Chains A and B, each alone.
Chain A
Amino acid sequence: MKLDSMYQDVILDHYKHPHGRGLRQGDAEAHHVNPTCGDEITVRVRLSGETIEDVSYEGQGCSISQASASVLNELLVGKDLTEAQRIQETFLELMQSKGRVEPDDAMEEVLEDAVAFAGVSKYPARVKCALLSWMAWKDATAKALSEGKTA
């Protein structure tokens, strides 16, 4: 069934047992909403130089948006910013592929659990859900960096 390609077990696992959920101390945060469905997320980042010490988050929304935040936390914490940006860009490329990108080994190595979202990219209305926390993370990181420079 097509539905199973969207709701991969990996996604449902992250939804039911989210990683790193809850807001903790950080350098900057961003709050993003999906106005069409009411999904909301606040993402907070803590940096130590170029290293991502923590990405904490709190939000409400569908399984896709919440699982995506959990995967983001698992993937990005501990990475340096250049690597994290590469992961974010790869995920964005996958999500904007309209189901036309079949993740290969190289992509799977970069995205790990996040490749499970490949099926979601076939559903235009749900792509925003999957990207919500990633966009908020990007925003929060940009804020943290610009505040760090002026401080």
Chain B
Amino acid sequence: MTILPGLLDTEAIRKDFPLLDRTVHDGKKIVYLDSAATSQKPRQVLDALSAYYEQHNANVHRGVYTIAEEATALYEGARDKVAAFVNAPSRDEVIFTKNASESLNLVANMLGWADEPYRVDHDTEIVITEMEHHSNIVPWQLLSQRTGAKLKWFGLTDDGRLDLSNIDEIITEKTKVVSFVLVSNIMGTVNPVEAIVRRAQEVGALVVVDASQAAPHMPLDVQALQADFVAFTGHKMCAPTGIGVLWGRQELLEDLPPFLGGGEMIETVSMHSSTYAPAPHKFEAGTPPIAQAVGLGAAVDYLTSIGMENIARHEHAITEYAVRRLQEVPDLRLIGPTTAEDRGATISFTLGDIHPHDVGQVLDEQGIAVRVGHHCARPVCLRYGIPATTRASFYLYSTPGEVDALVEGLEHVRNFFG
């Protein structure tokens, strides 16, 4: 067994994740290497979900009866936990959404409908990057098409980093908003936040950070980031699907208009007009995903008990090992940084001329679950002249043995199509 410095006690951790015990294809133990798509869920989160439904289920912020008060306390308690998890100055800055896509769409729509000085219109510019997930491209394309604002982006270097050499031409006095990914979901690249934020602040542009691949894997401090909005999703960090987060600076949330209207987000309603509840409720129309928020709270507790620093150290060790082992595989080309420096535990590659779809199929036969395709980041594939990649992604429960299984699996793929 390979022992690397910085590893967590995965033997103990894996006992918390029932799914990691199952087998596929006639008794092959599953090797789950697709945590960048969604993480597996620990027993603690599953228990919190069933306890909520079995003991406390009621709608929130409405009833005066006991279980309604309990449901509300659990839902709002989850908000407190998330606020502490990202070091938010105020719990009222944490908006629950259904996922990161909704969080990013919410910001784009707030800015589209906003008054000055936030308004995005035909005289202004929006800046993104070529390594964004489609969820941080399409909402801005829609905003650009609807308002006439110009959409600009940072390109990529050959080794999978943002090309910031022309930062002063990309981010200008016309820029209203800069939205970029903290950790790439396809290449694992960790982006230099400070340089981008500094330039954006110089020109008075708002900064939106897509932290979907960061929040599960490293300490996330929204105050240290100095961003205006930070989006992430629960299901990649041990929580259920259907719950996401948008953190936003309080004064912005006070100034910006709501997007979805409905119950919960109002103060008073008449047939002519309505006034709105203060943030975060102003942005949470309708019955929210209550159980899912409670599940996210339990996930935050779970991750905090292990320690985000420890998780980051574990994944860094796994990444160093994986990057080294994968580069021993003949004909394998890493797409993205080739070292573990400033990169997360998400590793994309191509294997000779063998199409990723075929790679994934043969790996599945050996119980190894990887993602194949363009990973909702098609511009990255276009940039590097490839149709798709195979992506292995690791998490707190991943082991060096699973890296070895992948490397062996790839040998088998090469033989199969050789």
Q: How many A-B residue pairs have CB under 8 A?
A: 46
Contacts of B355 in A (CB 8 A): 61-63
List, in ascending order, chain A residues with CB within 8 A of B365's CB.
1-3
User: Which residues of B357-397 are within 8 A (CB) of A?
Assistant: 357-358, 361-362, 365, 372-374, 378, 381, 387-388
* Nearest CB of A to B26, in Å: 9
Whether the pair B416, A64 counts as a contact (CB closer than 8 A) is no
Task: Kindly identify, within residues 333 to 373 of chain B, every residue whose CB is under 8 Å from any CB belonging to chain A.
Answer: 355-358, 361-362, 365, 372-373
Range for the number of chain A residues in contact with chain B:
20 to 34
- The complex places the Cα of A12 from the Cα of B365 at a distance, in Å, of 17
What are 9 inter-chain pairs, A to B, with CB distance below 8 A?
A1-B365, A2-B365, A3-B361, A38-B378, A40-B387, A61-B355, A61-B357, A63-B357, A126-B357
Nearest-neighbour CB distance to chain B for A12, whole angstroms, equals 8
Residues of A within 8 A of B381 (CB): 38
The answer to whether A39 and B387 touch (CB under 8 A), given A1-B365, A6-B361, A61-B357, is yes
Asked if A36 is an interface residue, CB under 8 A from chain B, the answer is yes
In the assembled complex, A129 has its CB within 8 A of some CB on chain B: yes
Partner pick for B387 among A1, A60, A126, CB 8 A cutoff: A60
6 closest Cβ contacts across the A-B interface? Answer: A62-B357, A62-B355, A38-B388, A37-B373, A3-B365, A38-B374
Chain A residue with the shortest CB-CB distance to B374: A38
Q: Is the CB of B357 within 8 A of A129?
A: yes
Docked CA distance A129–B357 (Å) = 9
Verify B387–A63 contact, CB threshold 8 A.
no
B62 at the interface (CB under 8 A from A): no
A38 to B134 CA separation, bound complex (whole angstroms): 14
* Residue of B355, B381, B387, B417 with most partner-chain A CB within 10 A: B355
Are A38 and B416 neighbours in the complex by a CB distance under 8 Å?
Answer: no
In the complex, what's the smallest C-beta–C-beta distance from A27 to chain B, in angstroms?
28
Q: In the complex the two chains form, what is the Cα distance from A12 to B418 in whole Å? A: 11
How far apart are A70's CB and chain B's nearest CB, in angstroms?
Answer: 14
User: Shortest Cβ distance from B243 into chain A, in angstroms?
Assistant: 24
* Neighbouring A residues of B387 by C-beta, 8 Å: 38-40, 60-61
Contacts of B22 in A (CB 8 A): none
Q: A7-B416, A60-B387, A61-B387 are in contact. Are A36 and B373 (CB under 8 A)?
A: yes
The chain A residue sitting closest to B378, CB to CB, is A38
Give Cα A78–Cα B155 distance, bound, in whole angstroms: 48
> Is B358's CB under 8 angstroms from A62's CB?
yes
A68 → chain B closest CB, angstroms: 13
Cβ contacts A29-61/B at 8 Å (1 or 0 each): 000000011111000000000000000000011
Q: Hey, what's the 0/1 contact readout for B140-178 against A, CB within 8 Å counting as 1?
A: 000000000000000000000000000000000000000
Q: Which residues of A contact B388 (CB under 8 A)?
A: 37-38
Nearest-neighbour CB distance to chain A for B144, whole angstroms, equals 21
> Does B272 lie at the interface of the complex (its beta carbon under 8 Å from any beta carbon of A)?
no
Q: Does A126 contact B361, Cβ atoms closer than 8 Å?
A: yes
Contact A123 B357, CB 8 Å, known A38-B374, A61-B387: no
Mask, A1-41, CB within 8 Å of B = 1, is 11100110000100000000000000000000000111110
A7→B365 CA distance, assembly (Å): 12
Chain B residues within 8 Å of A63, by CB: 355, 357-358, 417
Residues on A with beta carbons closer than 8 Å to the beta carbon of B417: 12, 63
Question: Given A38-B387, A126-B361, 6 other A-B contacts at CB below 8 A?
Answer: A1-B365, A2-B365, A38-B373, A38-B374, A64-B357, A126-B357
How far is it, in angstroms, between the C-alpha of A113 and the C-alpha of B74 when the chains are bound?
60
Contact B357 A37 (CB under 8 A): yes
- Contact partner of B372 among A2, A6, A37, A65, CB < 8 A? A37
- For B357, B358, B365, the residue with the greatest tally of chain A CB atoms inside 10 Å of its CB is B357
Q: Which residues of B contact A3 (CB under 8 A)?
A: 361-362, 365, 416
Give A115 Cβ to nearest chain B Cβ, in Å.
20
User: Distance in Å from the Cβ of B272 to the closest Cβ of chain A?
Assistant: 44
Contacts of B361 in A (CB 8 A): 3, 6, 123, 126
Query: How far does the alpha carbon of A40 sit from the alpha carbon of B372 in the complex, in Å?
Result: 15
Q: Mark A109-151, 1 if CB is under 8 A from B, else 0.
A: 0000000000000010010010000000000000000000000
Q: Is the CB of B25 within 8 A of A2?
A: yes
Report the Cα distance A32→B371, complex, angstroms.
22
Q: Which residues of A contact B358 (CB under 8 A)?
A: 7, 62-64
Question: In the complex, what residues of B have CB within 8 A of residue A36's CB?
Answer: 373
Roughly how many angstroms separate A38 CA and B377 CA in the complex, as a whole number?
A: 11
A120 to B318, CA, bound (A): 35
B365 — nearest CB in chain A belongs to which residue? Answer: A3
Q: Which chain A residue lies CB-closest to B372?
A: A37
Q: How far is the CA of A146 from the CA of B251 in the complex (A)?
A: 59
